Amino acid sequence: MPLVTSKELFTKAYANKYAVGAFNVNNMEIIQGIVSAAKTENAPLILQVSAGARKYASPIYLRKLVEAAVEDSNLPIVLHLDHGESFDICKQCIDDGFTSVMIDASHHSFEENISITKKVVEYAHSKGVVVEAELGRLAGVEDDVQVSEKDAIYTNPEQAAEFVQKTGVDSLAIAIGTSHGAYKFKGEPNLDFERLQEIAKLLPNFPLVLHGASTVLPEFLELCNQYGGDIPGAQGVPEEMIRKATQFGVCKVNIDTDLRLAMTAAVRKELFADPKNFDPRKYLAPARTAIEEMVRHKIVNVLGSDNRI
C-alpha cells in the first residue's frame, strides 16, 4: 500500500470517536518501533517529521526510511510535516512526496495566518496533499496560564470556524491548555474542555488536532531518573483527558516527548546494566522495543485506534 493522506483516516476516526496517533520520527529505531506497534495492533498511523528532524537526519534519509516502513508493513501510513513554518518548507515537502503538511502560522496575526495557510492549501490541494493549520498558542514549557489570559492564548471558537471556512484547511490544531515537552502543568493538569466542545460544535464533521499530547508516563520518567537522569517534576496530560478529547472531534493526537522518554530510559538502563558493552545495537534494540510497547499502549488504551484498518 502506498502512502495515504489523512482524509479517510480522519473521516473514520471522527465517526467512531477515536484518534489516529501522530508520532514524531527522527531515526530508524524510532520508525521501526512505532510501525511495528501499529502493525501488531492493526492501526492507521501518521509519521511526522519536524524541521529539527529534517536537520538531524536529513530529509532524504527520513523519506527513504518511511518508504521502507510503508513497503515492509503494508499499513496505511501518512507522511506529515510537523510545524512547517513557511510556505517554502511546505512546498518542499509536498514536492518530495509528503501526503500531508502542517503550516503553523499561529504566531502571525489572524489575518496573516489565514493568508499564509490559504496559499499552502491552494498548492497542496493542487497536488492531492492535505493541510493542517494552527490557531491559538500552545502554552510554552512551564507557562502558567492564568484564567484571564486564556482568551488571548487559547483558540477562539468563532475564529476557528471563520478560519476553516476562509482557508479550506483540512484539519486544525487548537490550543486548549496542552503544551510541548515534558513540563506541561505546574499544578493540577487542566484542559479547557468547554472550549473544545464549543469549537467542535461550530465545526461539525471537521477533524481537530491536539498537539503537546504526551502523557509523560511515570514508568519511563522513573527509569530515566533512576539511571542517572535528572528530569524532576515532569508532568504530562493525563490519559483520561486524551481519551475525553477524542470524544469531541479530536482525530489526531501528537506524541513526541513520550517517545523520547521511552528511548532514553531504555538506553540509560542498558548502559548501566552492562558497562562493558560498546555495541550500539545492544542498547538501541531495547530502546526500539520500549518505543514499540509504549506506542501499543497508546493505540489500545488512549487513542482507541486499534483494529481500525
Ligand X SMILES: O=C[C@H](O)COP(=O)(O)O
Rounded CA separation 224/22 (Å): 24
Nearest-approach distance from CB 194 to ligand X, in angstroms: 25
Q: Candidates 15-23, 46-54, 192-200, 285-293 — which segment interacts with ligand X by CB under 6 A? A: 46-54
By a kind-dependent CB cut-off of 5 to 8 A, residue 132 interacts, out of ligand X, ligand 13P, Zn ion, none, with: none
CA angle 224, 229, 230 (to 5 degrees): 115
Active site residue 306: no
Helix (H, G, I), strand (E, B) or coil at 251: strand
Q: Using CB under 6 A, pick the residue from 4, 22, 23, 24 that binds ligand X.
A: 24
Rounded CA separation 245/251 (Å): 9
**How buried is 247 (Cβ within 10 angstroms: 0-12 exposed, 13-18 middle, 19+ buried)?**
middle
By a kind-dependent CB cut-off of 5 to 8 A, residue 104 interacts, out of ligand X, Zn ion, ligand 13P, none, with: Zn ion
By a kind-dependent CB cut-off of 5 to 8 A, residue 53 interacts, out of ligand 13P, Zn ion, ligand X, none, with: ligand X
Whether 256 has a binding-site annotation, put simply, is yes
Rounded CA separation 257/263 (Å): 10
Task: Provide the residue count of the chain.
Answer: 309
Nearest-approach distance from CB 254 to ligand X, in angstroms: 7
Q: Using CB under 6 A, pick the residue from 63, 80, 180, 308 that binds ligand X.
A: 180
Pick the closer one to Zn ion by CB: 21 or 286. Answer: 21
Whether 180 has a binding-site annotation, put simply, is yes
Count of CB atoms within 10 A of residue 108's CB?
A: 13
Nearest-approach distance from CB 245 to ligand X, in angstroms: 17
Rounded CA separation 291/274 (Å): 21
Q: What is the DSSP string of 149-162?
A: GHHHHSPPHHHHHH
- Strands 208-210, 250-255: pairing kind: parallel
Nearest-approach distance from CB 159 to ligand 13P, in angstroms: 21
Q: Which of 9, 74, 17, 10 is nearest to 303 (CA)?
A: 17
- Rule CB under 6 A: say whether 306 interacts with ligand 13P: no
- Rule CB under 6 A: say whether 255 interacts with ligand 13P: yes
Q: Candidates 4-12, 49-57, 62-70, 123-131 — which segment interacts with ligand X by CB under 6 A? A: 49-57
* Window 75-104: residues binding ligand 13P (CB under 6 A): 82-83
Which amino acid type is present at position 98? Answer: F
- Active site (catalytic) residues: 82
Q: Applying CB under 6 A, which residues contact ligand X?
A: 24, 50, 52-53, 82-83, 180, 256
- Contact set with Zn ion (CB under 5 A): 104, 106, 134, 211
